[in-house]
Structure 1
Amino acid sequence: MASKLQKAPLLRLFMSRGLSQLAPVSGNPNYELKTTILSNKLTVVCADNESSLVRVSVIFRAGSRYESSDNLGVTHVLRTAAGLSTKNASQFAIIRNIQQVGANLTATSDRETISYTLEGTRQAVEKVLPFLTEVATQQIFKPWEVSDITSRLQLDIATRSLPLRAIDLLHNAAFRTGLGNSMFIPKSQIGKISSETLQHYVASNFLSGRAAVIGFGIDQSELIHYAQTLNIESGEGCNNSSSYKGGELRSNKGGDVAFVTVAGEGASLKDPKEALAFAILQKAIGVGPQVKWGNNNGIFSRVVGIGEHTSSAINVSYSDTGLFGILIGTPAKSAGKLVESAVKLLRSGSVSDEDVNRGKKQLKSSLLLEAESGADAVRDIASQSVLTGNPQTASQIVAAVDSICTSDVRDALRNAGRKITLASIGNLSNVPYLDELK
């Protein structure tokens, strides 16, 4: 079975909505970050990467982990509502003006952040930058416009892939609340997130102490001036800590295949060394072929051999914790053996020097290739800015990879194997229960 799991960026799980299309143009991947903290504690990060495109992003620490039982799914609605009428611009004006100059405005959210990113040529961004301000900070959520996006929410729910649903279940089992909240609205909540609920969530979380403005290809003084004009309320808001608990969730949907995630606690972004060790371990275990039509030469694929299955290591680091494990897609009849092998690998704590060296090389390659995409670089820097306060470029991270030794990677694997979480969806007739795994 051909693997497509590597096509999905499991390291950073996010959903987005684009209002128009524009092909990104790469700039110089070697750039210097200039960080400024304004008097209201708004973080401004600027990098002139000599790209022919300018990218400006406004990001808030307001992802789905901050939802409560009363407003579950509010961030999915916020993501989908990007581009609706604001205080000073209609929905038509926003879309028409951005399309007219060939720019692109995208709303992206994950479990920790919501960001609004504008990209286009320098002339285009200069013309439509006020619309980024409107979409990111001047929402009004007219009730009739909010009700009109119900069909879009239903489509998003209906088109979720089984691997994505398996990862959602994994988070729910591992963290229960907070980081356990899905990036998608529950079916029972569709139509129940009101305009008032959206306004209250924005007022509580879209605060200057929880925000950052990121600019690529723009002068620092211009970006600081733009950030100072943003009408963002001052404050830090409330944090919502999540601790790893572990557990099991199963969703028996029938069919011919099963998707199973086996994972343990990973590294938080607060510990860069441990986070790098887990990132290397992910590559060592395997995330799919590194070249087109190539074989997956990771540790797990060597353990289970070639067969009608696909697999990818999962590594997600959050501000206070993380998840590390393996996602398996397989015909139902083969699920038992593969899940047992995955658990045994996580609990083994065994990684060779050769595998670690290969993992380092693949991680460096992945980071540098990602840096060539301006959109990915902006997203990474923006997330680091609001979650750690110390953003680093891909070049800086690559330089730190060599400082990680084999013992660090082995310790990471041992930590992940201490307390296992199991989540599965599909035909679960041969998927063992967590308490059956030795």
Structure 2
Amino acid sequence: MTSNLAKFPLFRTATIRGYAQLAPLGGISSCELKTTVLPNKLVVASSESQSPITRISIVFRAGSRNEASDNLGVTHVLRNSAGLSTKNASQFAIIRNIQQVGAALYATTDREIVSYTLEGPRQAIEKALPFLTEVATQQVFKPWEVSDITNRLLLDIATRPLQLRAIDLVHNAAFRSGLGNSLFIPKSQIGKISSETLQHYVASNFLSGRASVIGLGVDISDLESYAQGLKLETGEGNDTPSPYKGGELRSNKGGNTAFVAVAGEGAALRDAKEALAFAVLQRAIGVGPHIKWSTRDNGLLSKSIGASIDNYASTTFNVSYADTGLFGILIAAPSKSAGSLVETAVKLLKCTKISEEDVTRGKNQLKTSLLLDGESGTHTLQNIGTQTAILRGASIQSPSQIVALVDSVSANDVQCALKKAAKKLTLASIGNLTNVPYLDEIK
């Protein structure tokens, strides 16, 4: 029995709403990244990759961590509202004109950012670009259109995979509010997010000092001219700290399987050296098999478990936010085996000595992953968009530049990262929890 658990993207969990996404076609994966900051604090970054596919994204630092108790789920509704009628274009006009030229437009949200991305052939982008502007900056949220997406919200909630729900729970347990807010609207909030709530959230967070415009396959001067024409309110808004606190949450849903996430505090994105150390540690512990149909990898967790337990899957997750991070292990296993697997994972986090060999393997896997992502325009755009939205005027690194920094990570850096993660653990579980121990029961 195999599982797709390890294949699920957990580095920075994002949710997407949009139409068909286009695959990258050729181009230069290691091209120079140029950045500039406009007088209104709007960051512009572009890389002319010579690809026949052009991608332009407008990114706002307005993810679910900015939600308050009275508007929980507003970013989920906002994501699903992408493409609704705007000040100057109807929903029909947006869809027809984008599809007519062979482009695609989609909205992506995670706990820190909301982004709107347009991609398509170079000759099509110029025609479709006004509709990206409309969707990202000229929303009106007509009440009857907002009410029409209720069934879509319910479908999103109903189809969440259990591993994603476990990651949501571990965030909630670790941070409580802020970064603990879910990517999905609570059922109790459906129908309560009004047009006025959406307008207020956009007015408070879609500001020039919290935004960036990113382009791949477009010249920086052209992108800068486009960015200067965006009608964004000036300001930087307020960022509320979301410190790591730790805790435990359990959701007993029955069935035959338990999904358990054990985590500790990770690295902040602003601390590049520590963030890279955690990324290497993630690969050293194991992110799942690298051979098709295999159920094992060569990571420390698989070695610790050995061949004594079958039909389980595991992966290490590592996510860096602006001011903190979350690092841990996610396990999916039959209920009868879950207890021993969780105890093994906790012991690994608390007592493991990372060897030079493990660090070298982790570095090689990390560099391979970064370079493969660099060949994907979509992954590169998301990576740069996150950096520009959070780091602002600081140095923005392309995937190839980050790879060059990986070799500077030492075994001691990785060991210190593991010690930080093990200081105060968080446990979240969902499924059949009959044999899943409580956090205070694990020695």
Q: TM-score, normalised by structure 2?
A: 0.98
Query: What's 1:431 paired with?
Result: 436
Q: Partner of 1:69: helix, strand, or coil?
A: coil
1:12 and 1:66 map into 2 onto residues whose CA distance is 17
1:385 matches 2:397: no
1:155 matches 2:155: yes
1:138 matches 2:138: yes
Structure 1 32/52 Cα, relative in aligned 2: closer, same or farther at 3 Å?
A: same
Query: What's 1:420 paired with?
Result: 425
Query: What's 2:180 paired with?
Result: 180
Q: Partner of 2:184: helix, strand, or coil?
A: coil
Deviation string for 1:141-198 (max 9, x for gaps)?
0000000000000000000010000000000000000000000000000011000000
1:272 and 1:127 map into 2 onto residues whose CA distance is 39
1:190-229 residue pairs with structure 2 within 5 A? 190-229=190-229
Q: Which residue of 370, 395, 415 maps to 2:373?
A: 370
Query: What's 2:416 paired with?
Result: 411
Query: What's 2:355 paired with?
Result: 352
Query: What's 2:116 paired with?
Result: 116
The one-letter amino acid of 2:33's match is L
Q: Partner of 1:168: helix, strand, or coil?
A: helix
2:158 and 2:421 map into 1 onto residues whose CA distance is 32
Q: What 5-or-longer segments of structure 2 have no aligned partner?
A: none
**How far is 1:21 from its partner?**
4.2
Structure 1 190/343 Cα, relative in aligned 2: closer, same or farther at 3 Å?
A: same
1:319 matches 2:322: yes
1:232-381 residue pairs with structure 2 within 5 A? 232-294=232-294, 295-306=296-307, 307-381=310-384
Structure 1 161/109 Cα, relative in aligned 2: closer, same or farther at 3 Å?
A: same
The one-letter amino acid of 1:381's match is I
8 Å contact from structure 2 (residues 6, 313) kept in 1: no
Q: What 5-or-longer segments of structure 1 have no aligned partner?
A: none
**How far is 1:219 from its partner?**
1.3
Q: Partner of 2:191: helix, strand, or coil?
A: coil
Deviation string for 1:370-422 (max 9, x for gaps)?
00000110110011001112320111110000000111101111110010000
Q: Partner of 1:281: helix, strand, or coil?
A: helix
Q: Partner of 2:331: helix, strand, or coil?
A: strand
Q: Partner of 1:30: helix, strand, or coil?
A: coil
Q: Which runs of 4+ in 1 moved over 4 A?
A: none
1:345 and 1:191 map into 2 onto residues whose CA distance is 44
**How far is 1:349 from its partner?**
4.1
2:238 and 2:220 map into 1 onto residues whose CA distance is 30
Query: What's 1:395 paired with?
Result: 400
2:19 and 2:284 map into 1 onto residues whose CA distance is 38
The one-letter amino acid of 1:369's match is L
**How far is 1:61 from its partner?**
0.1
Query: What's 2:11 paired with?
Result: 11
User: What is the total number of aligned residue pairs between the two structures?
Assistant: 438
Give the % identical residues: 68
Structure 1 62/26 Cα, relative in aligned 2: closer, same or farther at 3 Å?
A: farther
2:412 and 2:3 map into 1 onto residues whose CA distance is 30
8 Å contact from structure 1 (residues 170, 261) kept in 2: yes
- Of residues 157-166 and 25-34 in structure 1, the stretch that sits farther from structure 2 once superposed is 25-34
Query: What's 2:85 paired with?
Result: 85
2:279 and 2:63 map into 1 onto residues whose CA distance is 23
8 Å contact from structure 1 (residues 12, 316) kept in 2: yes
2:388 and 2:137 map into 1 onto residues whose CA distance is 18
1:401 and 1:106 map into 2 onto residues whose CA distance is 32
2:66 and 2:180 map into 1 onto residues whose CA distance is 10
Q: Partner of 1:262: helix, strand, or coil?
A: strand
8 Å contact from structure 2 (residues 312, 334) kept in 1: yes
Deviation string for 1:41-74 (max 9, x for gaps)?
0000011011111100000000000000000000
1:404 and 1:336 map into 2 onto residues whose CA distance is 34
Q: Partner of 2:215: helix, strand, or coil?
A: strand
**How far is 1:305 from its partner?**
1.5
Deviation string for 1:305-328 (max 9, x for gaps)?
132210000101000000001000
The one-letter amino acid of 1:178's match is G
The one-letter amino acid of 2:212's match is A
- Of residues 76-85 and 305-314 in structure 1, the stretch that sits farther from structure 2 once superposed is 305-314
- Of residues 13-22 and 427-436 in structure 1, the stretch that sits farther from structure 2 once superposed is 13-22
**How far is 1:19 from its partner?**
2.7
Q: Partner of 1:308: helix, strand, or coil?
A: coil
**How far is 1:23 from its partner?**
2.9
The one-letter amino acid of 1:396's match is Q
Q: Partner of 1:39: helix, strand, or coil?
A: coil
8 Å contact from structure 1 (residues 5, 287) kept in 2: no
1:262 and 1:3 map into 2 onto residues whose CA distance is 19
**How far is 1:262 from its partner?**
0.3
What's the Cα RMSD here? 0.9
8 Å contact from structure 1 (residues 20, 99) kept in 2: no
- Of residues 23-32 and 312-321 in structure 1, the stretch that sits farther from structure 2 once superposed is 23-32
1:38 and 1:333 map into 2 onto residues whose CA distance is 58
1:217 and 1:351 map into 2 onto residues whose CA distance is 41
8 Å contact from structure 2 (residues 172, 179) kept in 1: yes
1:21 and 1:371 map into 2 onto residues whose CA distance is 17
Q: Partner of 2:383: helix, strand, or coil?
A: helix
8 Å contact from structure 1 (residues 283, 298) kept in 2: yes
